[in-house]
């Protein structure tokens, strides 16, 4: 369904694993500092959702990187070095006047996809790729909800895929 018809923060909480399952689980969030007004809001949405579903605040690892392109490297390090159930990669790339947008989006998508195909735990794509800053704002707590909430819900479901 097209995002313009779907609030990213809407989901059925009855489809989530029980809170007691998540009490001792650990999750990592890697967030790009570029477009921080967007990414920090997405990160807060993800963090709040993890906690709302039973993840203890001290079991949420937060790592910052300069921009979206660096998300793949950081996610790979978190996969290897941290005992976590899933990694949530959060970034925001807004189209500009040069092909830079296309290269960054392709690189991030390919890198995170590769980690999902060859890695040992899920890496969740919480990267906004929008044409305008307004579209990003709408998806980072604005009229279309918060993509960070969706990313956290996805992380919980994927981390517990075999359990329920």
140: Cβ contacts below 8 Å, ≥ 6 apart: 37, 38, 39, 41, 42, 45, 92, 128, 146, 147, 148
Angstrom distance (rounded) from CA 30 to CA 47 = 11
DSSP code for 119 = S
Catalytic member of 6, 48, 53, 100: 100
User: Helix and strand tally (H, E) in the chain?
Assistant: 6, 6
Angstrom distance (rounded) from CA 107 to CA 16 = 31
Helix (H, G, I), strand (E, B) or coil at 64: strand
Dihedral of alpha carbons 95, 96, 102, 108, sign: negative
Q: Is 100 a catalytic residue?
A: yes
Residues identified as active-site: 100
């Amino acid at each position: 369904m097209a995002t313009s018809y779907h609030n990213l923060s809407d989901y059925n909480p009855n489809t989530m694993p029980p809170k007691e399952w998540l009490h001792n689980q650990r999750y990592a969030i890697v967030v790009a500092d570029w477009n921080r007004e967007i990414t920090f809001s997405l990160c807060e949405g993800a963090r709040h959702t993890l906690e709302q579903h039973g993840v203890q605040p001290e079991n949420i690892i937060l790592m910052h990187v300069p921009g979206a392109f660096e998300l793949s490297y950081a996610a790979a390090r978190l996969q290897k070095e941290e005992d976590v159930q899933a990694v949530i990669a959060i970034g925001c790339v807004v189209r500009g006047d040069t092909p830079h947008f296309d290269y960054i989006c392709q690189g991030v998508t390919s890198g995170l996809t590769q980690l999902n195909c060859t890695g040992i735990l899920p890496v969740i794509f919480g990267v906004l790729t929008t044409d305008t800053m307004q579209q990003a704002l709408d998806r980072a707590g604005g009229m279309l909800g918060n993509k960070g909430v969706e990313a956290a819900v996805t992380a919980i479901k994927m981390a517990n895929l075999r359990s329920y």
